[in-house]
């Protein structure tokens, strides 16, 4: 992590118009922010989402940073706020599709066997809850990202990130299962 003076300088540059400074700030402090959020959320995928949201909020609140003070307390206050807001949203959310086994998932017509459905459901069950919700709401229930963001009380970008990461995780999980099945068949 860059030292405190360097971080202050980077943030000052970001405030005054050097966009690339944000890349450097991210590279310097994102691991620390993630560690803090992971200690709160105890879920790696959730912590990743919250890190994105924290940096988005840092960008929006950049005018409130005073470079005569250290950057980390300002950042951590935003991260804590993001975490608390997420927890509050979760507690207020009226419905979450946690029970994926009971859902009618649209598996491709040419691969719509019972086994495929079971595999997809099983893999989906392993995807982190926040990402799974975004995937199901967008790809299964047909909600737009704007609607998902409104329901979850998050930014639209965060909803997109959750969904795309959920899909990535799902693909990786499904690839793992198909690779496993193929190697069994070869043996």
Residues engaged in binding another protein (CB under 8 A): 15-17, 19, 22-23, 26-27, 30-31, 34, 52, 55-57, 59-67, 69, 73-78, 80-81, 149-150, 153-157, 160-161, 164
65 within 8 A of 15, measured Cβ to Cβ? yes
Which helix (H) or strand (E) segment holds residue 89: the answer is helix 71-92
Q: Which is nearer to another protein, 171 or 181 (CB)?
A: 171
d(CA 117, CA 95): 23
Q: How many CA atoms lie within 13 A of 152 on its CB side?
A: 32
DSSP state of 139: I
Smallest distance from the beta carbon of 173 to another protein, in angstroms? 21
d(CA 80, CA 99): 29
Q: Which is nearer to another protein, 120 or 137 (CB)?
A: 137
Smallest distance from the beta carbon of 126 to another protein, in angstroms? 22
Smallest distance from the beta carbon of 149 to another protein, in angstroms? 6
Q: Which is nearer to another protein, 122 or 160 (CB)?
A: 160
**To 5 degrees, how large is the angle CA 168–CA 171–CA 173?**
110
Smallest distance from the beta carbon of 103 to another protein, in angstroms? 27
């Amino acid at each position: 992590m860059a030292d405190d003076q360097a971080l202050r300088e980077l943030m000052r540059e970001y405030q005054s118009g050097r966009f690339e400074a944000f890349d450097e700030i991210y590279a310097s402090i994102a691991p620390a922010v993630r560690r803090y959020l992971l200690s709160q959320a105890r879920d790696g995928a959730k912590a990743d989402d919250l890190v994105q949201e924290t940096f988005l909020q840092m960008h929006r609140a950049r005018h409130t940073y005073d470079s005569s003070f250290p950057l980390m307390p300002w950042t951590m206050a935003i991260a804590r706020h993001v975490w608390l807001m997420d927890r509050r949203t979760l507690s207020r959310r009226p419905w979450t599709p946690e029970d994926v086994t009971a859902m009618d998932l649209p598996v491709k017509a040419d691969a719509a066997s019972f086994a495929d459905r079971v595999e997809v459901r099983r893999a989906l069950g392993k995807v982190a809850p926040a990402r799974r919700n975004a995937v199901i709401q967008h790809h299964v229930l047909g909600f737009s990202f704007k609607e998902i963001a409104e329901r979850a009380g998050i930014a639209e970008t965060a909803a997109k990130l959750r969904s795309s990461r959920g899909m990535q995780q799902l693909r990786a999980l499904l690839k793992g299962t198909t690779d496993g099945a193929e190697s069994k068949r070869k043996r």
